[in-house]
A = this chain, B = another copy of it.
Amino acid sequence: MNEMMIGVDIGGTTVKIGFINQDGEILKKWEVPTNTSNGGKAIMDDIWKSIQGHTHSLNISKGSLLGIGIGAPGFIEPDSGFVYEAVNIGWKNMDLAKEMKERANLPVYVQNDANIAALGENWIGAGNGAKNMIAVTLGTGVGGGVIANGSILNGENGMAGEIGHIKIDPNGIPCNCGGIGCLETICSATGIKRQGIDAVSINPDSKLAKFYEEHGKLSAKDIIDFAKSGDEISVQIINNTVDILGRTLANMATIINPSKIIIGGGVSKAGVYLLDLIASSFETYAIPKLNDVCELKLAELGNDAGIIGGAYLVKQNVK
């Protein structure tokens, strides 16, 4: 019996798709471009045709497919699989689950992209089946997913776990969400870069300023690399970033009391260097009894977390 699930992770540029077995192994994965033109109308057909093509060429029988689990960015109603809005894709009021069911005649489950990535990490990644887990994605923005009592928290209208929009500084930087001083304005790649450019303008003779002048650009990775090499201004930026991130994670842990906090996304590629700093800040702020049971870990599944989590969504629901 070779039952398998289809995981789909819809992003602004590509859609990742995979056939995944009951053990979480990827049997086959591939990508199709996300066609955002015309309100993203073609995306559903593109996905389904591509799945059909691979089902054919791999000689997979329809009967072995248990269902499709889809992650999409934006505001989603998980019970119905309805997407209110997904700005990056062009969707508005898109009945994603219904549309896909009509094409595939299979069970379809939908979650937002951060939540399925958290589910994937929880299943076969760094989460190790933790009943209580927080996943944070430090990328262009800061995303998050929370598992409590063994289930993804969706909340009343699918907005739970939006870690990036925790308000840190009432006098801070405006955020894309319309708020002021959100975590994402400081601890994302964008936020670290902004801190770097601010620091450069105040310290025009610094190593960082010279690098910026020479290269005409400055990335979060550059700043982290400078910090690793001991550059004082960069160290200050990273210290400020991990202080705020560690404190915010400690505050989240005060609510959720997790056994695992998983750090993923582009910024987390700075690896153990960053993880250790975040964990040290977390320890400073967390009640000892919270810290005692909580392990901070780097995400393990990279870009596959979404399709694996999508598959798990099917596995959880179909059995």
Contact = CB atoms under 8 A, between A and B. Distances in A.
B257 A153 contact: yes
Given A153-B149, A153-B256, A159 B289 contact: yes
A29 interface: no
Query: How many copies of this chain?
Result: 2
Interface string A145-163: 0101101011111111111
Contacts of A179: 285, 287
Given A148-B149, A165-B287, A285-B179, A159 B257 contact: yes
Given A251-B251, A285-B167, A132 B156 contact: yes
A253 to B, nearest CB: 8
A167 B289 contact: no
A71 to B, nearest CB: 18
A212 interface: no
A159 B290 contact: yes
Given A148-B155, A290-B159, A167 B247 contact: yes
A226 interface: no
Given A153-B257, A257-B153, A257-B154, A159 B251 contact: no
A294 interface: yes
A255 interface: yes
A293 interface: yes
A254 B166 CA distance: 6
A258 interface: yes
Contacts of A251: 166-167, 251
Nearest to A290: B159
A178 interface: yes
Nearest to A75: B289
A177 interface: yes
A85 to B, nearest CB: 10
A36 interface: no
Contact of A256 (B149, B155, B177): B155
A131 interface: yes
A87 to B, nearest CB: 13
Contact of A163 (B163, B254, B258): B254
Given A131-B156, A170-B247, A163 B255 contact: yes
Interface of A: 75, 131-132, 146, 148-149, 151, 153-163, 165-167, 170, 177-179, 243, 247, 250-252, 254-259, 285, 287-290, 292-294
30 contacts: A75-B289, A132-B155, A146-B255, A148-B153, A148-B155, A149-B149, A153-B255, A153-B256, A153-B257, A155-B258, A156-B293, A157-B289, A157-B293, A159-B287, A159-B289, A160-B257, A161-B257, A162-B255, A162-B257, A163-B255, A165-B287, A166-B254, A166-B255, A167-B247, A167-B251, A167-B285, A170-B247, A177-B287, A179-B285, A255-B255
